[in-house]
Structure 1
Amino acid sequence: MSRITVGLVEDNPTIAASMWEKLSLSEDIDLILRACNGKDLFKQLPTTGIPQVFLMDIEMAEMDGITTTRLLKQKHPHVKILILTMFDDDTKLFEAIKAGASGYLLKDEKTHKIINAVTEVLDGGAPMSPIMASKALDLLRQGPNEMHLQAVSKSAELTLRENEILECLVKGINVRQISEKLFVSDKTIRKHLEHIYQKLQVKGSREAVAKVIGRVA
């Protein structure tokens, strides 16, 4: 199995060096780019090539993670972006999702969890740190959001199983975990996801989650 190419965008040199050192020990990851902000990232891309997955700091000078994510997805829609932050800010969470991020992790997560998230996001998942997944679920369960989930599901004519899987996506649960939760194969879940994306008229899990929480038109 080929290694996953990863780029790290982090403006704190101490954190960046520590994370780079830890991630470089993984046999599954090939770190090919390290930038201190969005402007630095775009300067380097013509030389380094485009990583499959970006680990993106959210608070950076010159060009922050939200802006960088939005521009990066516009230029290279196939890449996956995992936001890394010290703050459990639900406003930033939804801004990141709207910008195109595929996951949202706190920097104090264990290294192996960040590595697993890199693998999961390429597998179609939308990994989140537990506290961020909990925030997303709490917001979903609030009256307007719950009603919006029902409205989206009804409008798209989702089946009960499809609606159940969609709610799992909002919780940040990946394909493997959904299959275990519902006692079906990964292949079955992927097939359901294809149908969900088609019915919602979205391109993937990130857009599906954003549509359900009512943060995009």
Structure 2
Amino acid sequence: MILDAQPDIEVVAEAADGEQAIEAVAAHRPDVLLLDVRMPVLDGLEAARRVCADYPDTKVLMLTTFDIDDYVYDALHAGASGFLLKDVRRDDLAHGVRMVAAGEALLAPSVTKRLISEFAARRPGVARRPHRLLDQLTAREQETLRLLARGLSNAEIAAELTVSEHTVKTHVSNLLSKLQLRDRVHAVVFAYEAGAVVAGEG
């Protein structure tokens, strides 16, 4: 009802469980799939993994009752482009769908920093040796990745590196392409898992 009331958003299908959600994506190829983490038959996390793997043009937005929670980390790791809490305001829900449809990550920089730092700290077994893919990045792109992973916005990264915001956007676009990542949220996840940054560092 909330989304259908928006003039620029069309709800093409609804699903009662994860399996139905995947079938709906196959039939309608929506721009955005809004998934509950907890769903019957097939949970939202597994549905997200399958949709992100099989239908990469469909962006996945997760709904959860938890803020900092393993479900959120797993959803992002599965390929979701962000998450919303179930008590989100109507306007924020519609805005979130628009953001994800446009290819943006839904997490604000401050939330990204808090979220990823929390999960990286919970996973002490993650390898800290630099990932080989990091070698594909230029020195500036690697620095951009580290600053992005610490929760800085493009404007803040630009100020830190003394470059224009347009240059930062180019660096972010290049590193996403080279690392084959969906968006900046997944760049943050990659940065921590690859050892480019360490939780609490900086």
TM range (shorter): 0.7 to 0.9
Q: Is the 8 A contact 2:100 2:106 kept in 1?
A: yes
Q: Is the 8 A contact 2:149 2:191 kept in 1?
A: no
Which digits, 9 at most, give the CA deviation of each residue in 1:35-87, with x for residues without a partner? 1111222344455x111001110001111001111111222111100111112
Structure 1 181/155 Cα, relative in aligned 2: closer, same or farther at 3 Å? closer
In structure 1, C-alpha distance between the alignment counterparts of 2:57 and 2:107, rounded to whole Å: 20
State which of 168, 182, 199 in structure 1 corresponds to 2:158: 182
Q: Is the 8 A contact 2:61 2:82 kept in 1?
A: yes
State which of 170, 181, 184 in structure 2 corresponds to 1:203: 181
Give the match's secondary structure for 2:14: strand
Question: Residues 113-128 of structure 1 correspond to what in structure 2 (within 5 A)?
Answer: 113-128=92-107
Structure 1 122/75 Cα, relative in aligned 2: closer, same or farther at 3 Å? same
Structure 1 167/115 Cα, relative in aligned 2: closer, same or farther at 3 Å? farther
Q: Which moved more, 1:122-131 or 1:188-197?
A: 122-131
Give the alignment's TM-score, normalised by structure 1. Answer: 0.68
Correspondence 1:151 to 2:130 = yes
State which of 3, 13, 20 in structure 2 corresponds to 1:40: 20
Q: Is the 8 A contact 2:62 2:84 kept in 1?
A: yes
In structure 2, C-alpha distance between the alignment counterparts of 1:96 and 1:179, rounded to whole Å: 27
AA of the residue aligned to 1:178: N
Give the alignment's TM-score, normalised by structure 2. Answer: 0.73
Give the Å deviation of 1:32.
1.1
Q: What's the counterpart of residue 110 of structure 1?
A: 89
Unaligned runs of 5+ in 2: 195-202
Give the Å deviation of 1:128.
2.6
Give the Å deviation of 1:104.
1.4
Q: What's the counterpart of residue 79 of structure 1?
A: 58
Which digits, 9 at most, give the CA deviation of each residue in 1:160-196, with x for residues without a partner? 565335543674x7xxx524763644x5443212221
Structure 1 77/23 Cα, relative in aligned 2: closer, same or farther at 3 Å? same
Structure 1 73/46 Cα, relative in aligned 2: closer, same or farther at 3 Å? closer
Structure 1 44/156 Cα, relative in aligned 2: closer, same or farther at 3 Å? closer
Give the Å deviation of 1:136.
1.9
Correspondence 1:134 to 2:134 = no
Matched length: 187
Q: What's the counterpart of residue 27 of structure 1?
A: 7
| Greater fraction of residues in strand | 1
| Greater fraction of residues in helix | 1
Q: Is the 8 A contact 2:15 2:21 kept in 1?
A: yes
In structure 1, C-alpha distance between the alignment counterparts of 2:75 and 2:5, rounded to whole Å: 28
